[in-house]
A and B are shown apart, each in its own frame.
Chain A
Amino acid sequence: MGNLTTRLGRLANVALSGLFLATSGSLAEDAGNLYNTNFDINAGLRYFERQCSRCHGIDAKGNDETGAPDLTGRLTRASSEVGIFNIIRTGISGTAMLPVASDLPDAQVWQLVAYIGSLSTDPANIDLSGSVTNGANLFTNKGDCSSCHMIDGHGGRQGPDLSRVGERRSPEELLSDMLNPHADVAPRWWTIRVTDKNGLVREGLRMNEDSFSVRIIDDDANLWSYPKNQIASLERVEASTMPSYTQTLSDSEVDDLVAYLFSLRKEN
Chain B
Amino acid sequence: MNRFPLLLTAIFLALPLQAQEDEFQTVITPAFSPVTWERLVNAEDEPENWMMYSGTLDSQRYSRLDQINTGNVTELEMKWSYQIPVIDRAETVPTVVDGIMFITEAPSNLTAVDARTGRVYWRYDHELPEDLRICCGRNNRGVAILGETLFMSTLDAHLVAIDARTGNVLWDVEVADYEAGYSKTAAPLIVKDKVVTGIAGGEFGIRGFIDAYDPVTGELEWRTYAIPGPGEPGNDSWSGDSWKTGGAATWITGSYDPDLNLIYWGTGNPGPDWNGDVRLGDNLYSDSALALNGDTGEIAWHFQFTPHDVHDYDSIQVPILADIEYQGSTRKVMMWANRNAFFYTIDRETGEFLEGEAYASQTWAQGLDPNGRPIRVPGMAPTYEGILVSPPIVGATNWYSPGYSQQTGLFYVTSFDGEQEFFKRDEDYEEGERFTGGGGRYNQPMDAFHSSIRAINPATAEIEWEFPIMPRSSAGITTTAGGIVFTGSADGYFFALDAASGEELWHISLGARVHAAPMTFAIDGQQFVTIASGNVVYTFGLKDN
Using CB atoms and an 8 Å cutoff, list the residues of chain A in contact with chain B: 49-51, 53-54, 57-59, 61, 64-66, 94, 96, 98-99, 101-103, 186-187, 209-212, 229, 238
B495 interface residue per 8 A CB criterion:
yes
The answer to whether A58 and B441 touch across the interface, beta carbons within 8 angstroms, is: yes
Q: How far is the CB of A213 from chain B (nearest CB, A)?
A: 8
The answer to whether A99 and B130 touch across the interface, beta carbons within 8 angstroms, is: yes
Q: Measured between alpha carbons, how far is A65 from B447 in the docked complex, in Å? A: 11
- The 8 listed contacts between A and B (C-beta, < 8 Å) are A54-B439, A58-B439, A59-B441, A103-B131, A210-B489, A210-B493, A211-B489, A229-B504
Contact (A50, B433) CB under 8 Å given A96-B137, A101-B131: yes
Q: Which residues of A contact B438 (CB under 8 A)?
A: 49, 58
Q: Which residues of B contact A50 (CB under 8 A)?
A: 425, 427, 433-434, 436
The answer to whether B433 and A58 touch across the interface, beta carbons within 8 angstroms, is: no
The answer to whether A58 and B446 touch across the interface, beta carbons within 8 angstroms, is: no
The answer to whether B441 and A57 touch across the interface, beta carbons within 8 angstroms, is: yes
The answer to whether A96 and B138 touch across the interface, beta carbons within 8 angstroms, is: yes
The answer to whether A209 and B447 touch across the interface, beta carbons within 8 angstroms, is: yes
The answer to whether B134 and A98 touch across the interface, beta carbons within 8 angstroms, is: yes
The answer to whether B489 and A187 touch across the interface, beta carbons within 8 angstroms, is: no
Please count the residue pairs between chain A and chain B whose beta carbons lie under 8 angstroms apart in the complex: 77
Q: Which residues of A contact B446 (CB under 8 A)?
A: 64-65
Q: Which residues of B contact A101 (CB under 8 A)?
A: 131, 133, 432-433
Q: Which residues of B contact A94 (CB under 8 A)?
A: 87-88
From A57, A58, A99, contact of B131 by CB (8 A) = A99
Q: How far is the CB of A104 from chain B (nearest CB, A)?
A: 9
Q: Measured between alpha carbons, how far is A96 from B490 in the docked complex, in Å? A: 17
State the 4 A-B residue pairs at the shortest beta-carbon distance, nearest first. Answer: A210-B491, A58-B439, A187-B447, A211-B469
B251 interface residue per 8 A CB criterion:
no
Q: Which residues of A contact B504 (CB under 8 A)?
A: 212, 229
Q: Measured between alpha carbons, how far is A103 from B430 in the docked complex, in Å? A: 13
Q: Which residues of B contact A98 (CB under 8 A)?
A: 132, 134
Q: Which residue of B has the minimal Cβ distance to A58?
A: B439
Q: Which residues of A contact B509 (CB under 8 A)?
A: 212
B203 interface residue per 8 A CB criterion:
yes
Q: Which residues of B contact A51 (CB under 8 A)?
A: 433-434
Q: Measured between alpha carbons, how far is A135 from B359 in the docked complex, in Å? A: 52
Q: Which residues of A contact B87 (CB under 8 A)?
A: 94
The answer to whether A58 and B134 touch across the interface, beta carbons within 8 angstroms, is: no
The answer to whether B434 and A211 touch across the interface, beta carbons within 8 angstroms, is: no
Q: How far is the CB of A128 from chain B (nearest CB, A)?
A: 28
Q: Which residues of B contact A186 (CB under 8 A)?
A: 445
Most buried by A among B203, B433, B472: B433
From B134, B440, B470, B492, contact of A209 by CB (8 A) = B470
Q: Which residue of B has the minimal Cβ distance to A51?
A: B434
The answer to whether A211 and B136 touch across the interface, beta carbons within 8 angstroms, is: no
The answer to whether B130 and A210 touch across the interface, beta carbons within 8 angstroms, is: no
The answer to whether A49 and B489 touch across the interface, beta carbons within 8 angstroms, is: no
Sorting the interface of chain B by its residue count into under 10, 10 to 19, 20 to 34 or 35 or more gives: 35 or more
From A102, A211, A229, contact of B468 by CB (8 A) = A211
Q: Which residue of B has the minimal Cβ distance to A96?
A: B137
The answer to whether B448 and A187 touch across the interface, beta carbons within 8 angstroms, is: yes
Q: Which of B487-522 contact A (CB under 8 A)?
A: 489-493, 495, 504, 507, 509
Q: Measured between alpha carbons, how far is A210 from B489 in the docked complex, in Å? A: 9
Q: Measured between alpha carbons, how far is A186 from B447 in the docked complex, in Å? A: 9
Q: Which residues of B contact A211 (CB under 8 A)?
A: 468-470, 489, 491, 493, 495, 507
Q: Measured between alpha carbons, how far is A264 from B432 in the docked complex, in Å? A: 44
Beyond the given A50-B433, A101-B133, please list 12 additional residue pairs across the A-B interface where CB-CB is below 8 A: A50-B425, A50-B434, A54-B434, A58-B438, A101-B432, A102-B130, A187-B445, A211-B468, A211-B495, A211-B507, A212-B507, A212-B509
Q: Which residues of B contact A65 (CB under 8 A)?
A: 394, 446, 471-472, 490
Q: Which residue of A has the minimal Cβ distance to B434?
A: A50
Q: Which of B92-134 contact A (CB under 8 A)?
A: 130-134
The answer to whether B470 and A210 touch across the interface, beta carbons within 8 angstroms, is: yes
Q: How far is the CB of B395 from chain A (nearest CB, A)?
A: 13
Q: Which residues of A contact B447 (CB under 8 A)?
A: 187, 209
Q: Measured between alpha carbons, how far is A209 from B133 in the docked complex, in Å? A: 36
Contact (A54, B135) CB under 8 Å given A65-B446, A187-B445, A210-B470: yes
B423 interface residue per 8 A CB criterion:
yes
Q: Measured between alpha carbons, how far is A59 from B439 in the docked complex, in Å? A: 9
Q: How far is the CB of A204 from chain B (nearest CB, A)?
A: 16
Q: Measured between alpha carbons, how far is A66 from B472 in the docked complex, in Å? A: 12
Q: Which of B192-216 contact A (CB under 8 A)?
A: 203
Q: Which of B451-510 contact A (CB under 8 A)?
A: 468-472, 489-493, 495, 504, 507, 509
Q: Measured between alpha carbons, how far is A51 from B468 in the docked complex, in Å? A: 34
Q: Measured between alpha carbons, how far is A229 from B471 in the docked complex, in Å? A: 18
From B138, B433, B436, contact of A54 by CB (8 A) = B436
Q: Measured between alpha carbons, how far is A186 from B445 in the docked complex, in Å? A: 7
The answer to whether B433 and A212 touch across the interface, beta carbons within 8 angstroms, is: no
Q: Which of B415-433 contact A (CB under 8 A)?
A: 423, 425, 427, 432-433
Q: Measured between alpha carbons, how far is A186 from B448 in the docked complex, in Å? A: 10
Q: Which residues of B contact A59 (CB under 8 A)?
A: 441
Most buried by A among B88, B203, B442: B442
Q: Which residues of A contact B469 (CB under 8 A)?
A: 211
Q: How far is the CB of A207 from chain B (nearest CB, A)?
A: 12
Q: How far is the CB of A12 from chain B (nearest CB, A)?
A: 13
Q: Which residues of A contact B445 (CB under 8 A)?
A: 186-187
Q: Which residues of A contact B441 (CB under 8 A)?
A: 57-59, 61
The answer to whether B130 and A58 touch across the interface, beta carbons within 8 angstroms, is: no
Q: Which residues of A contact B470 (CB under 8 A)?
A: 209-211
The answer to whether A54 and B203 touch across the interface, beta carbons within 8 angstroms, is: yes
Q: Measured between alpha carbons, how far is A61 from B442 in the docked complex, in Å? A: 10
Q: Which residues of B contact A187 (CB under 8 A)?
A: 445, 447-448
Q: Measured between alpha carbons, how far is A101 from B136 in the docked complex, in Å? A: 16
Q: Which residues of A contact B134 (CB under 8 A)?
A: 98
Q: How far is the CB of B275 from chain A (nearest CB, A)?
A: 12
One digit per residue, 1 when the CB lies within 8 angstroms of any chain A CB and 0 when it does not, for chain B 120-162 equals 0000000000111111111000000000000000000000000
Q: How far is the CB of A66 from chain B (nearest CB, A)?
A: 8
Q: Which residue of A has the minimal Cβ distance to B426?
A: A46
Q: Measured between alpha carbons, how far is A103 from B133 in the docked complex, in Å? A: 13
The answer to whether A212 and B493 touch across the interface, beta carbons within 8 angstroms, is: yes
Q: Which residue of A has the minimal Cβ distance to B432?
A: A101
The answer to whether A212 and B427 touch across the interface, beta carbons within 8 angstroms, is: no
Q: Measured between alpha carbons, how far is A101 from B427 in the docked complex, in Å? A: 18
The answer to whether A58 and B423 touch across the interface, beta carbons within 8 angstroms, is: yes
Contact (A49, B425) CB under 8 Å given A209-B470, A210-B493: yes
One digit per residue, 1 when the CB lies within 8 angstroms of any chain A CB and 0 when it does not, for chain B 223-252 equals 000000000000000000000000000000
Q: Which residues of A contact B448 (CB under 8 A)?
A: 187, 238
Q: How far is the CB of B109 from chain A (nearest CB, A)?
A: 15
